[in-house]
Structure 1
Amino acid sequence: MARHDSILETIGGTPLVRLARLAPPDIHLYAKVEAFNPMGSVKDRMALAVIEAAERRGELRPGQTVIEATSGNTGIGLAMVCARKGYPLVVTMAENFSVERRRLLRFLGARVVLTPAAEKGSGMLAKAIELAETHGYYLCRQFENPANAEVHRRTTAREILDDLAGEPLHAWVSGFGTGGTLQGVARVLKDADPATRIVVAEPDNAPMLGSGLAQPRGRDGSTASHPGFRPHLMQGWSPDFISPLTEQAVSAGLVDEVMPVAGAEALRLARELARQEGIFAGISSGATLAAALAVARRSPPGSRIVCMLPDTGERYLSTPLFENIRDEMDDEELALSRSTPGYRFDARPAVPPATSVARPPAADVDAEAVAFVDQAIASAPVVMFALEWCEFCWSARKLFARLGVEVSSVDLDSVACQAGDIGGRVRPVLAVRTGAATIPQIFVGGRLVGGCSELFEAWRDGSLTERLAACGIRVDAEAAFDPDELLPRWLHPRAETA
């Protein structure tokens, strides 16, 4: 493995992988697997290129905030680049894109401003422009920025040609999205061999390119929603407008064919790609593969076809792609579990929980540990004796976080509590004081609430709110939620135990 000075140096160089099981046997169908980029999508290339081009031109000042409208992948790539280079990032995103994309962006330090789904992609773009003009942010302009297409001319297209090692390419298949991949790769492939067919796929229920209708724009050049657009399943594959980069590719004669793809077929092939080829990719990859297979079925034997797989399947966990993927065991898996006698949910061994300890007689309690407990309880209004990696402790912390209540957590398994084994010596003290040998144990205003279950019940019956108020801590009296939702999913009622 190579050694790098920055994660940004690992962008590109993604593999070209033959799809031997899904393709017709006499066709060489290859996938350009862009999930191998560090943030899992083709947009990593563009994110770095756009930022570095802005730096070279002096358009982006040190420390200036970057902003972009994105369905997720561009934003995630920009979040990586901005994190490494030290730029704050704001992303505008329509509210109907998958939740995991928002969480990934925020995990990487970006701020995410959601826009109404009814305003579609053109709405999130207009919001980004509005915020950039108001606050002086640098707007990436991915849909028209020449650096977007240029990076694919320099990298993606050259990688494909180098990997083919001079072998003729019958067709290259891609969605269009921002138009950067389309324009950059198609131009180089056409220059190398004008006979290479460029096939652009789009949703069959949103035929913008296929409609032949021009992209409407306002007098000020603003982007409006295309009349051919309808909501579709392929997130990020095509927004509700035809980008300037895509328009340029079409007007330059780089596109030989526009192929419609059904959403259900995109879902099916994304799953088949995983199950038959072992490649974990998203809905847009399934859609592009559907178009590539259609091309393959009508191509002469021995043809070589390359299709783009833009991103990883992890961007789609909350989408219809995973709709029928179960969390729990089905009948076949239950039968397999029951085929051997041990480690079954319907025959659990009677062993104490790992977090429990035997309750000792009061006379055996360590005086120094007693003083430690007394001092800890008196140190803050809300004190929790906890374990750093206990899921019940996490659930209790989540409840207090939901209420905006600060908790002093004494983590008995932490490095700080290992000195003199004070953590271990405190456990028997708590067992005597609370009458329970389990962790966590929570005190409010010096009084015992109990463990996680007792805390949840105190929230339900209102006594927790009263105790916090007596300590001068106010919580939202209108806050309403089921605390059981904060428990780990494996603790929820299971069909296997019925």
Structure 2
Amino acid sequence: MAEVNGVPNEIKSSALELIGNTPLVALDRLYTGPGRILAKCEFVNPGASVKCRTSLHMIRKAREAGLLKPKDPVIEVTSGNQGCGLSVVCAVLGHPLTLVMSKGNSVQRALHMEALGAKCIRVPQVQGKYGFVTQADFKAAEAEGIKLAEKSGSYFVNQYNNEMNVDAHYSTTGPEIWRQSGHRVDAFVAAVGTGGTFTGASKYLKERNPNILCYVAEPAGAEPIKGTPITKPMHLLQGSGSGCVPSLFNYEYLDGTFAVTDEEATEYRKLIGEKEGLFVGFSSAANVAAAVKLLQSGKLPEDAWVVTLLNDTGLKYTPVAEEIQ
């Protein structure tokens, strides 16, 4: 705690100090038991998502390693949330930032990034439509981002292959959950985008207690972690369920998966708002839906506590409409 004229105060030095240590809230109005769902409110991060954690950690580690010099330009491919987190971090640290994103991802994310001084390049879709981003759409954006990084010489964050993505959750998310729950965690549930959240947090939690069960929430019909064929490449869970097992994902920590339909994600998004007063995105809703399924599956004791994440704010999404493009 800093002091002014000898008097302690709680003034933060920058937005970077607002990242992490998010509250853990009980969803006791939405789910009345048996058992309990506890959710990390990642939408209170300054970039309004869990990706602020990895943005800060990956950039700090790159600077410490000498891979990124002061004022050097940065580039990344994003579905939006990583871009918003990087926009916060790069604005404070003084790095020019370019972000490449599919046009299928919500335009609010582009507006958010640009409001923080970043440049956002939106790449046309090749398969999906607005609000539904397929693996092919992401690959098109990725190819454009890699090409721009090579041409410009900018530091490429490469969240899908950056081990510091996992380390961010091992060193912050996992320890926070363990501390905030009073060391009482029976299971952990997370949707998978890059795999960083699930792998990092699960690794930490299982090191504390090997009996903790860790599950993945996947979009129904796009369940590569479960190992089934992709029958529905277009779904509402932007930033997760991209149709392949990400390189950072580690099966060592996986105890099972739960499929969540678009209809279930929409229903639980509504319930989280109406029952808990929290406006969140679709992957957050999928996490809660999967947590309910887990508690009702008989895989856990009746009084089990399941921890999950509310990944981002609902303000990052628009109604699905072609004309927004």
Q: TM-score, normalised by structure 1?
A: 0.59
SS of 1:211's partner is coil
Residue 116 (structure 2) aligns with: 108
C-alpha distance in structure 2 between counterparts of 1:23 and 1:260, whole Å: 19
Other-structure match for 1:467: none
What is the CA deviation profile of residues 12-62 of structure 1, one whole-angstrom value per residue up to 9, with x for unaligned ones? 000111111221432121111101111110000000011111101111122
Number of equivalenced pairs = 302
Aligned match of 2:245 in 221, 235, 242? 242
- Relative contact order, higher structure (CA 8 A, sep 6+): 2
* Counterpart residue type for residue 109 of structure 2: R
1:46-85 equivalences under 5 Å are: 46-85=54-93
Q: CA deviation at 1:228?
A: 6.2
| Structure 2 letter corresponding to 1:263 | D
Please say if residues 121 and 240 of structure 1, whose CA atoms lie closer than 8 Å, have aligned partners that are also in contact.
no
Cα RMSD (Å) of the superposition? 1.5
Task: Tell me the equivalent position of 1:191.
Answer: 207
The answer on 1:270 being equivalent to 2:278 is no
**Is the 8 Å Cα contact of residues 120 and 239 (structure 1) preserved in structure 2?**
no
Q: Residue 166 of structure 1: CA displacement?
A: 2.6
Contact 1:208/1:229 (CA < 8 Å) preserved in 2?
no
Structure 1: tracts of 5 or more residues without a match: 214-226, 321-498
Task: Please say which of residues 104-113 and 42-51 is displaced more in the overlay.
Answer: 104-113
Where 2:248 maps in the other structure, the secondary structure is helix
In structure 2, distance between residues paired with 1:244 and 1:208: 12
SS at match of 2:234: coil
Q: What SS does the aligned partner of 1:209 have?
A: coil
How many Å separate the matches in 2 of 1:122 and 1:157?
30
**2:161 matched to which residue of 1?**
144
CA contact (8 A) 2:219 2:259 kept: yes
Which residue matches 2:193? Answer: 177
Contact 1:186–1:198 at 8 Å: present in 2 too? Answer: yes
Q: Distance in 2 between matches of 1:170 and 1:81?
A: 34
State the secondary structure of the residue aligned to 1:93: strand
1:158-201 deviations in Å (ceiling 9; x for gaps)? 0000012132x221000010111111101011111111110101
Q: d(CA) in 2 for partners of 1:20 and 1:74?
A: 30
Residues of 1 paired with 2:313 and 2:200: CA distance? 22
Decide which structure has greater helix share. 1
Residue 216 (structure 2) aligned to one of 193, 200, 216: 200
Partner-residue secondary structure (3-state), 1:268 = helix
Aligned residue number for residue 31 of structure 2: 23
| Stretch deviating more after TM superposition (279-288 or 116-125) | 116-125
Cα distance between partner residues in 2 of 1:8 and 1:175: 25
Shift of 1:301: 1.8
Secondary structure at 1:210 match in 2: coil
Structure 2 partner of 1:308: 309
Partner of residue 178, structure 2: 161
TM superposition shift of 1:239: 2.4
Q: Residue 71 of structure 1 contacts residue 94 of structure 1 at CA under 8 Å; is this kept in 2?
A: yes
Secondary structure of 2:226's aligned partner = helix
| Structural mapping, 1:69-468, within 5 Å | 69-118=77-126, 119-167=136-184, 169-211=185-227, 230-246=233-249, 249-250=250-251, 253-298=252-297, 299-319=300-320
Q: Give the Å deviation of 1:232.
A: 1.0
* 2:43–2:311 contact (8 Å) kept in structure 1: yes
Structure 1 residue 37 corresponds to structure 2 residue 37:
no
* SS of aligned partner of 1:117: coil
- In structure 2, C-alpha distance between the alignment counterparts of 1:319 and 1:147, rounded to whole Å: 34
AA of the residue aligned to 1:312? T
Q: Is the 8 A contact 2:29 2:276 kept in 1?
A: yes
Q: Is the 8 A contact 1:207 1:229 kept in 2?
A: no
1:232-286 CA-to-partner distances (Å, cap 9, x unmatched) read 111112324322101xx11xx1111011110111011011101001111111111
Kept in 1, the 8 Å contact 2:240–2:283? The answer is: yes
Q: Which residue of 1 aligns with 2:6?
A: none
Note if contact 1:17-1:33 (Cα within 8 Å) is conserved in structure 2.
yes
Task: Verify the 8 A CA contact 2:258 2:293 in the aligned structure 1.
Answer: no
d(CA) in 2 for partners of 1:107, 1:186: 34
Shift of 1:212: 5.3
Q: Supply the distance in 2 between the matched residues of 1:61 and 1:319 (Cα, whole angstroms).
A: 40
Counterpart Cα distance in 2 of 1:243 and 1:173: 17
- Say if 1:35 and 1:42, in contact at 8 Å, map to a contact too: yes
Distance 2:27 2:167 in 1: 28
CA contact (8 A) 1:229 1:241 kept: no
The amino acid of 2:188's aligned partner reads W
Confirm or deny: 8 A CA contact 2:47 2:85 kept in the other structure: yes
CA deviation after TM superposition for structure 1 residue 65, in Å: 1.2
Deviations 1:79-123 (A, max 9, x none): 111111111111110111111111111111111112121141122
